[in-house]
Structure 1
Amino acid sequence: MQRFAFRMQLKPGMVDDYRHRHDEIWPELVDLLHDAGISDYSIFLDEATLSLFAVLRLAEENRRESLPDEPVMKLWWAAMAPLMEVEPDNRPREWPLVPMFHMA
């Protein structure tokens, strides 16, 4: 199991909407993420910059790279696109984070 972290960027005024949508995350999306080998997924907000910092665990044999092809993932990204910076296919823009320290 490996940890993976990245940054995303919210648009101004979208914090409450972003939190609300994740409070009511679709069960079929959660199932898809678990089936793809993703677990222990957390997203943190830096209120000063509206940066979102995501940390998750990836199974050794994960299918994270196949998620853009999944219909439920495409629907989720389309629903979230008005709230954050996205790529042309509505995938959230991600900036990978470099591990600097970990204490187990």
Structure 2
Amino acid sequence: MMRYCFRLQVRPGRLAEYTERHRAVWPDMLAALREAGWRNYSLFVDTDGLLIGYVEADSLADAQAAMAATEVNARWQAEMAEFFTGIDGRPADQGLRLLTEVFHLDDQLDQET
């Protein structure tokens, strides 16, 4: 399983609503994410709207493609698009900017044994 970290930017003034919408994500969206292979998925946000996401998947590209094929994701992305800057009209899950992992504790500890 691969680890992926990404960032997005929530529009100024929309952070409270964005956060509130994630308190109760639609059950069919949650099920679709799980079925598409998204694991250990978390979102973190700073007060300036910087959003950091973390997800594990066998292949992020495959997990994204599986989600893109679902009707629930189309509805969710249509509703979420207005919250983000810098995604150039793409769905947020396709406009994310991947970050490079530079350290992982378990990986280095495993190398010692």
Q: TM-score range by the shorter chain?
A: 0.7 to 0.9
Number of the residue aligned with 2:111: none
Scaled by the length of structure 1, the TM-score of the pair is 0.87
Counterpart check, 1:7 vs 2:7: yes
Shift of 1:38: 0.8
Q: Would the aligned equivalents of 1:37 and 1:58 in 2 still touch at CA under 8 Å?
A: yes
CA distance in 1, matches of 2:43, 2:60: 23
Higher helix share: 2
CA distance in 1, matches of 2:78, 2:6: 20
Number of the residue aligned with 2:63: 64
Number of the residue aligned with 1:36: 36
Q: How many residues align?
A: 102
Alpha carbon RMSD of aligned pairs, Å?
1.9
Structure with the greater alpha carbon radius of gyration: 2
Number of the residue aligned with 1:95: 97
Q: Would the aligned equivalents of 1:36 and 1:62 in 2 still touch at CA under 8 Å?
A: no
Deviations 1:4-57 (A, max 9, x none): 111111000111111111101001011001001111111111223x21000011
Counterpart check, 1:79 vs 2:79: yes
Shift of 1:63: 3.5
Scaled by the length of structure 2, the TM-score of the pair is 0.80
CA distance in 1, matches of 2:60, 2:84: 29
CA distance in 2, matches of 1:51, 1:61: 21
Shift of 1:60: 5.7
Unaligned runs of 5+ residues in structure 2 are: 107-113
Please identify runs of 4+ aligned residues in structure 1 that moved more than 4 A.
none
The sequence identity of aligned pairs, in percent, is 27
Number of the residue aligned with 1:51: 50
Q: Would the aligned equivalents of 1:6 and 1:54 in 2 still touch at CA under 8 Å?
A: yes
